Amino acid sequence: MVNKQKGNTTFNTAIGFVSPKFDPNDLGFLPRTNVINGHITTGYRWTTPTEFYRSPQFSVAMFASFDYAWNKTWHGY
């Protein structure tokens, strides 16, 4: 994960995975394996309050998930 939160400009990106070989039978219930997912987000926030707003923020993001065969299973903007 890479994250920037200081200042007016924000940024966050991360990637994660759960191997299809992971077997949690002794640990409990795992609803999903065989997944690679990631996201990227950037934004701008206004830090000086005015009479109309206190702390507005604008962000855009993109995210996706794949299985280990690189079939897309989920995505969005």
Q: How many CA atoms lie within 13 A of 76 on its CB side?
A: 1
Q: Considering only CA atoms, which of 52, 40, 47 is closest in space to residue 76?
A: 40
Q: Considering only CA atoms, which of 71, 65, 59, 61 is closest in space to residue 15?
A: 65
User: How far apart (Å, rounded) are the C-alpha atoms in residues 76 and 28?
Assistant: 30
User: What's the pTM value of the predicted model, to 2 decimals?
Assistant: 0.72
Check residue 12 and give its pLDDT.
96
Check residue 76 and give its pLDDT.
96
Portion of the chain with pLDDT greater than 90, in percent: 58
Tell me the pLDDT band of 29, cut-offs 50, 70 and 90. Answer: low
